[in-house]
């Protein structure tokens, strides 16, 4: 890829940040520096927002049927550049190529759904609410939308928002994660090629100063954030204090119940993909397995065997099943949490620490790790590890396991593996999580459903994707009108 100085994209032009401050963007598997990302200033953000606001005046008046033509074009360009984008994700993030392809597919699906915006943003009309009086509700865009994305999906998460924001007539300023900014630059080159008018989509790279600038800027009307819970709470409270509409998705800890009657091979394979896919750096990773009754005797040996066989390495190579974690600091943090778990009484089943991958000695590798007997309320059961670590607990009943899930502070996902329909139904009904899987390891909603986190996994009212996003990026206007044929009064 070669070391590249990344630029901001403002009002249809690529511009170099004038701060002279940059951060390296390393490949987490090789430690090679791929690019330098600017730490932009608040003045640069302000310029982007002012120009996005200017663009909004025209863009919001472009008929929706025209606005979506840019998305049709973008969809074509994303398909044509699919492999290159997937490779870029693998190089800067570390996930394996197939996972990067999956991420790109999910991003494209959001573009496809947003192409239906003429139908999705339709309002309502009731004729004759009183004699000769009609009432209608229409949806209008709000202005400049601020988007702040996390490192773990360099492409997809921004697409939970961008296509809907622009299709409904808003303009966008996005700050990508400075740990994985290259993919967004590649995506914006395609948006440029798709021909969006100047100022409709803008990128300003930077760190928390830019995030706070977005939260405070009076011309930014909506904030869409995805990241850790701590930052999500900060974003939600600071953004709403300024009267903005905020949707802030946070971290997760996702318990998965495994009943003794679950299909052994399928459950094992799905659980390994969920716990160790993207090296566990997924907000829907199955990070805690709760074995019900005799399930532990059946599944623990199977899990140990499958996890030990998983091939860890550079995700570009076809034989590799799991990549590195994002930074050396994260590797240290995750290994520290594993040790804390052991100190609290958990047992090591598969130890992935101190992994050395021949040829990639500088990569941030941890191999799949499984701890058993993780105490309820302990560090492994309650903290988002965000690494390839599966904690296993044991419960006698489904009720007991649901209580553990519901006592947790997060509510992103809960899953159950079983053949028992009544247990599955009880789980789906009683589990306090917004995304539920039944014999599913990663219950990621398709683009036409909301990405529906609860509790400390989400702050706000309307989630990303689908109809929620359409509602989020529009405000309703109600009009009551009367057109009498013969006015008695002359105007």
Nearer to ligand NAD, 177 or 372 (CB): 177
Interaction of residue 228 with ligand NAD, rule CB under 6 A: yes
Interaction of residue 412 with ligand NAD, rule CB under 6 A: yes
The Cα–Cα gap between 305 and 309 comes to 6
Interface of this chain with ligand NAD, residues 382 to 401, rule: CB under 6 A: 384, 386
Interaction of residue 177 with ligand NAD, rule CB under 6 A: yes
Q: Looking at 113, 226, 320, 440, which residue binds ligand NAD (CB under 6 A)?
A: 226
Interaction of residue 252 with ligand NAD, rule CB under 6 A: yes
Residue nearest to ligand NAD (CB): 227
Interaction of residue 151 with ligand NAD, rule CB under 6 A: yes
Nearer to ligand NAD, 192 or 216 (CB): 216
The Cα–Cα gap between 235 and 329 comes to 24
Q: Looking at 148, 155, 166, 220, which residue binds ligand NAD (CB under 6 A)?
A: 148
Q: Which residues are CB-neighbours of 131 under 8 A, at least 6 positions away?
A: none
Angle, CA 182 vertex, CA 179 and CA 186 arms, to 5° = 155
The Cα–Cα gap between 277 and 97 comes to 11
Interaction of residue 150 with ligand NAD, rule CB under 6 A: yes
Interface of this chain with ligand NAD, residues 260 to 289, rule: CB under 6 A: 283
Give the residue carrying structure tokens 């939260």: 215
First to last CA, the chain: 70
Q: Which residues are catalytic?
A: 283
DSSP track, 423-443: HHHHHHHH---SEEEES-SS-
Interface of this chain with ligand NAD, residues 287 to 346, rule: CB under 6 A: none
Q: Looking at 113, 167, 182, 211, which residue binds ligand NAD (CB under 6 A)?
A: 211
Q: Is the separation of the CB atoms in 289 and 392 below 8 Å?
A: yes
Q: Is the separation of the CB atoms in 158 and 46 below 8 Å?
A: no
Nearer to ligand NAD, 300 or 433 (CB): 433
Q: Which residue, 338, 107, 142, 336, is CA-closest to 221?
A: 142
The Cα–Cα gap between 230 and 227 comes to 8
Interaction of residue 453 with ligand NAD, rule CB under 6 A: yes
Q: Which stretch binds ligand NAD (CB under 6 A): 17-25, 223-231, 374-382, 466-474?
A: 223-231
Nearer to ligand NAD, 213 or 378 (CB): 213
Interaction of residue 227 with ligand NAD, rule CB under 6 A: yes
> What's the burial of 467, exposed, middle or buried (CB within 10 Å: 0-12/13-18/19+)?
middle
Q: Is the separation of the CB atoms in 298 and 264 below 8 Å?
A: yes
Q: Provide the pairing of β-strand 220-226 with 254-258.
A: unpaired
Q: Looking at 26, 250, 378, 411, which residue binds ligand NAD (CB under 6 A)?
A: 250
The Cα–Cα gap between 284 and 282 comes to 5
Nearer to ligand NAD, 102 or 150 (CB): 150
The Cα–Cα gap between 322 and 79 comes to 25
Q: Which stretch binds ligand NAD (CB under 6 A): 29-37, 131-139, 203-211, 373-381?
A: 203-211
Shortest distance (Å) from residue 209 CB to ligand NAD: 8
Nearer to ligand NAD, 19 or 57 (CB): 19
Interaction of residue 152 with ligand NAD, rule CB under 6 A: yes
Q: Which stretch binds ligand NAD (CB under 6 A): 96-104, 151-159, 261-269, 337-345?
A: 151-159
121-140 footprint of ligand NAD as x/- string (CB under 6 A): --------------------
Q: Looking at 208, 237, 266, 409, which residue binds ligand NAD (CB under 6 A)?
A: 208
Nearer to ligand NAD, 458 or 473 (CB): 458
Interaction of residue 178 with ligand NAD, rule CB under 6 A: yes
The length of the chain is 491
Q: Is the separation of the CB atoms in 346 and 354 below 8 Å?
A: no
Q: Looking at 155, 249, 325, 416, which residue binds ligand NAD (CB under 6 A)?
A: 249
Residue 278 CB-half CA count within 13 A: 23
Interaction of residue 437 with ligand NAD, rule CB under 6 A: no
Interaction of residue 39 with ligand NAD, rule CB under 6 A: no
Per-residue 3-state assignment (H helix, E strand, C coil) for 21-61: CEEEEECCCCCCEEEEEECCCHHHHHHHHHHHHHHHHHHCC
Binding site for ligand NAD (CB under 6 A): 148-152, 157, 175, 177-178, 207-208, 211-212, 226-228, 231, 234, 249-252, 283, 384, 386, 412, 451, 453, 457
């Amino acid at each position: 890829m070669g070391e590249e100085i990344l630029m901001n994209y403002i009002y249809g032009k690529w511009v170099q940040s004038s701060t002279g401050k940059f951060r390296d963007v390393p490949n987490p598997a090789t430690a090679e520096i791929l690019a330098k990302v600017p730490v932009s200033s608040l003045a640069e953000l302000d310029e982007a927002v002012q120009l996005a606001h200017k663009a909004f005046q025209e863009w919001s008046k472009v008929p929706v049927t025209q606005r979506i033509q840019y998305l049709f074009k973008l969809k074509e360009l994303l398909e044509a550049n699919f492999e290159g984008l997937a490779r870029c994700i693998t190089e800067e993030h570390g996930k394996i190529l197939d996972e990067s392809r999956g991420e790109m597919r999910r991003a494209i699906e959001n573009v496809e759904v947003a192409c239906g915006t003429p139908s999705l943003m339709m309002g309502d009309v009731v004729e004759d609410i009183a004699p000769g009086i009609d009432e209608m509700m229409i949806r209008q865009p709000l202005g400049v939308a601020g988007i702040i994305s996390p490192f773990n999906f360099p492409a997809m998460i921004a697409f939970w928002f961008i296509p809907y924001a622009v299709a409904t007539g808003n303009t966008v300023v996005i700050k990508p994660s400075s740990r994985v900014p290259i993919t967004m630059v590649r995506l914006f080159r395609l948006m440029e090629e798709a021909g969006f008018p100047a100022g409709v989509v803008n990128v300003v790279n930077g760190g928390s100063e830019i995030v706070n600038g977005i939260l405070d800027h009076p011309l930014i009307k909506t904030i869409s954030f995805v990241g850790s819970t701590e930052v999500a709470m900060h974003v939600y409270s600071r953004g709403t204090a300024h009267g903005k509409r905020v949707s802030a998705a946070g971290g997760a800890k996702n318990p998965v119940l495994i009943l003794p009657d679950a299909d052994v091979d399928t459950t094992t394979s799905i659980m390994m993909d969920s716990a160790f896919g993207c090296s566990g750096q997924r907000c829907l990773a199955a990070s805690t397995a709760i074995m019900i009754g005799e399930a532990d005797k059946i599944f623990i040996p199977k899990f140990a065997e499958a996890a030990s066989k998983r091939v860890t390495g550079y995700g570009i190579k076809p034989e590799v099943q799991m990549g590195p974690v994002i930074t050396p600091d994260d590797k240290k943090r995750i290994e520290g949490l594993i040790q804390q778990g052991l100190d609290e009484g958990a047992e090591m089943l598969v130890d992935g620490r101190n992994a050395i991958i021949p040829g990639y000695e500088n990569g941030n590798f941890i191999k799949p790790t499984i701890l058993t007997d993780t105490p309820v309320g302990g560090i492994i059961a309650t903290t988002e590890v965000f690494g390839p670590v599966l904690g296993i607990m044991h419960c006698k009943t489904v009720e007991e396991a649901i209580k553990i899930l519901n006592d947790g502070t997060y509510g992103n996902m809960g899953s159950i593996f079983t053949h028992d329909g009544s247990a599955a139904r009880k789980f789906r009904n009683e589990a306090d999580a917004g995304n539920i899987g039944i014999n599913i390891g990663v219950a990621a909603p398709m683009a036409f459903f909301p990405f529906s986190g609860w509790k400390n996994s989400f702050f706000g009212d309307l989630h990303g994707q689908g109809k929620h996003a359409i509602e989020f990026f529009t405000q309703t206007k109600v009009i009551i009108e009367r057109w009498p044929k013969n006015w008695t009064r002359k105007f």
